Structure 1
Amino acid sequence: MFDFEYHLKMLPDKPGVYIMKNDVGTVIYVGKAKILKNRVRQYFQNSKNHSEKVKKMVKVISEFEYIVTDSEIEALILECNLIKKYKPKYNILLKDDKEYPYVKITSNEDFPRIIIARKKIKDGAKYFGPYPQYSKVKEIILLIKKIFPLRTCKKTIKEENEGGVKTRPCLNYHIGLCKAPCSFYVSKEEYLKTVQNVVDLLSGKDKSIKKQLEKSMYEASENLEFEKAASLRDKILAVDKVSENQKIIFGNFENEDYINIYRDDKDSCIQVFFVRNGKVIGREHFIFEDTVETDKSKIITDFIKRFYGGTAFVPKIILVPFIDDKELIENWLSLRKESRVEIRIPKKGDKLRLMQMIEKNAKISLEQFKLKYIIEKDTNENTLKELMKALNLEDMPERIESYDISNIQGVDSVGSMVVFENGRPKNNDYRRFKIKTVDGPNDYDSMKEILDRRFSHGLKEIESVKSHNLNYSLGKFCVFPDLILMDGGIGQVNAAKNILKRYNLNIPIAGMVKDDKHRTRGLIYNGEEISLKGYDRVMKLITRIQDEVHRFAITYHRSLRGKRMLHSVLEDIPNIGSSRRKELLKQFGSIENIKKATYDELILTPSINNKAAESLIEYFKKSKGGD
């Protein structure tokens, strides 16, 4: 249950990227913001200015998250990277899969041009970028031309003394955007100095350029040349905009992971940024509680061992603020990757600044986690108090168990039990049951069976726990619920009551009922329907529990059905044992592919001999593709 009001209040006054998700966690929109707090809030305010597309999108947003950056341009670049990764439904205009454009200086020419390039090739030219949008590159080139006029035309120009042909200058010269080398209004030496200034500016060496412009501006002001001073001021502003740092994209990087940590007085958060081909394609954070007494270097080291011990991909370079046993960890990672892996500790430059940005995000993630936990705890407690009031219960239902049955015409009938403690799902206590004593589609008797098994096992465990003086948490069934919710009406409730009566258990039981449109309507309790009108939070909790128990039952049912189908097809074929079944599925991926396979294809499968291949072909030929 995502609390929009709370999360909107917690948005920072910083630039960044926001990520909108629907009710199944799919990313549906990625956007950038100069100030996250202002931009994201606009979506959830009533506004006639919202387009139909935005109105439609807002209706299906179930949650959002964000990444803080150091500047708006970083947010823009990161936004493009994430859009390319997620391909969100509502980012239609940015769904192209083209390369990011570059600013290209054709330094392989006598009078170099400044142009836009879609690809970086080895042609002797200088490339800067890539940049997030074509329009952004056009803007940068226009800003540069206002500071240092360079040509953009396709003319082949040579010096006059080398036989160059003089031509008329174009409009760009007359509006101050070109020095007209085509008309020999500028020498090659002077022009190349301008080119070098542009290269320095795009390379981040802007301090000397800015200093010189400022000196000229003050001189013009002292000489009362205010127009010239204003023009120089505009050039200084353009320099600032062009030279804005871009830590989100790096031109010379390969596959790298950046890892940093933030720790408060109790807990820690590790943030990982994934850089692929110089682009940040995503991030992930991990919360570690009660780490105040653990050295941060050890936390990072242990994290790397756990994280890369279970992941399929190990990058070539991992950057961290500090680490223990660096050489040992490098060797271990190199063995896993089967090629050299380096662990580096950035000391200066863009890499260090990116690490600092990651630490900021780790700090925000940890703060948000703690505040979210506190608010969720309070919200869940109030919700359970409202549920207690609605059902007139004596105690607050801190532990709720819910049950459901799933089958198709009585085949592969299964039962599920999900557990919510303090308003949150407790996945470790989920249980599933394969119906053993009931034939056919009899949900009531099936429910009696799983409840009987659940509570009989629970009572036996309680006796064992007491006799051995053990902790109740060690048992699978010995912790009993404060409230049982059945996925159904009065029939399911009565079935549960009969089982509890058999074991002399006094646990409140309610049934979750749905309307004609299959939406949660209310609860059946003590023989009557309890309306939950006015109990919005309780209704959300009940709906969530009902959806979860149904999902868990359906998942198990499909699993059993899949196994049964495999049995009916493969286990009944002569000369096909368990090892050959595994090899066939490994080789072909599915039963349908095995059916379509030729004799020559089958015989190439490990452990499949002539006799086994003939048995397969004969079986599927007789069944005509059926099971």
Structure 2
Amino acid sequence: MVDIEEKLKLLPEKPGVYIMKDISGKIIYVGKAVILKNRVRQYFQSQANQLPKVRIMVKHINDFEYIVTDTELEALILECNLIKKHKPKYNILLKDDKNYPYIKITINEDYPKILFTRRVEPDGAKYFGPYSSAFAVRETIKLLRRMFPLRSCNRNIERDIGKYRECLYYHIGLCTAPCTGKISKENYRKQVDEAIMFLEGKHDVLLKKLKEEMDKASQNMEFERAASLRDQIYAIEKTSEKQKIISVSGEDQDVISMARSADDSCIQVFFIRSGEISGREHYFMKNTEEMNRSDVVSSFIKQFYEGAPYVPKEIITDVDMEERDILAEWLSKKRGTKVTITIPIKGKKKELVDMVYQNALEALKNDVNFKMEKQKNDAVSELSELLGLGYLERIEAYDISNVRGTDNVASMVVFVDGKPHKSSYRKFNIKTVIGQDDYGSMREVLERRLQHGIEEQKMIDNGELDENKAKFNIMPDLILVDGGLGHVNTAKEVLNSFNIEIPIYGMVKDAKHRTRGLVSPDGEIDMPMTGRAFRLVAEIQDEAHRFAITFHKERKSRGLKSDLLNIPGIGVKRMKALFNEFKTIEGIRKANVDELKKVKGMNEKAAEALYEYFRK
């Protein structure tokens, strides 16, 4: 246990970022401070005035670190980066921010194309977004390609020009076929510039430009081009009518407001470009229970604009924030020119932000209604309610399989939102248990699984492992074991040894080996057999058993039915190495400890265990 009192005495009176960690070393909160000494000490003083959520967090703090910065602005930038990287459990977080879709125009290429993407990269391309709806982005791209027929292929135009015939997209009017030389680079870039103007909301400028071109084409008797421009103008005007709701000024602004329920917070953003509302999106924040509106909106601004490709000249909101000045300074640095954050009291801007709030409220109502409807028909929600737990997003189930104590294996199956998540399934060869000992096997499997998870999370936090390549770092919301109370108690002992709190239940069967229900130290759970929760548990139990049996059979079919695997310290790799060296079981039996130690991958402890096994 770290001596926190001693560390608090060493805190400097300087700005910086503080990082709270739990007993496993995982980062659970990141915050910034104008004076580190004052801010961090507040967490460990009287908790009478603290929010319940903060009191719970403090109970889980085992250690903290801090990074001193020269200014509060540097602290804010570092805080944004650390929150984005670690997604701490107790920070207010923008839900799934890394997955929001963008429209990408590859202006870094000679013949740019328009794409759908979920990643913003420093590649010289131009990005628009983020948007909350992937469907809306794809529909916008379709519209753009009808109005401005840009290519979508990955062909090297400069190298391949003139080598190909026009593709289908050219014939249906969705591409101008630059690969065939039918359009010059100059005219193609003109199309790209027009598409960008459209996405930036500069419809009036674009329409004026296109009408001039149409008149010119008509005068030159280029009637086909004039007709094409006429259709393009008509499409833009119709689209502009749908988007143009109100004109506040001729500048670029984002208008932000928030509506909230007991469990959710919805942020609505209206994007104003050149005085017209060119689009709107809503975003949900999590971990906002008991937090004030100022903290939620402040957190949204930091996380949203940290990765946004564009920052407007003005942000209008109805929430005053303690960090307002430092946020404006940070946004100004990102934009390159001054950015102001305005909280209007009256006038057009106040009317606009009130309208944005009403839209946020409507989006929140729709989401709450959707969730309520979903819960009525959701087996996971039914099971969660039955067990008195929060929503059980990730459920892990374990089963042991062997034949008369030989070839011990175990399965781990994972259900996410009530559906099998097969890429997360894991197989285990039991290494330390000899004979028929289901409790010992269950203990080994859970210890290995939890240890792997803790080690991977530390490697991720230290930058030594890509989170996408980790296999065990995500902990479950519920653990189910195939068996009765003995299996449950064994699993609880393992969890307690790691100081991890995860609900655990046993999946018990009736005399006909069919699912009967769940059991815990408090007794058996009464589960109606006609209920969705019961059917989900039965499905999970059957899947865990099927996966374990399948693995057991695979192991036999690969010729792994060797007594060697029942010896502590001997796994599949060492067994293969032993057979490569001594060819047969008899050869291995006759070898002495020194000969066994020389085999690749063997150590003295395993060699002695193997030698003693054959002498019994």
TM beyond 0.5: no
Structure scoring higher RCO (CA < 8 A, sep ≥ 6) equals 2
- The normalised TM-score by structure 1 is 0.32
- The normalised TM-score by structure 2 is 0.32
Larger radius of gyration: 1
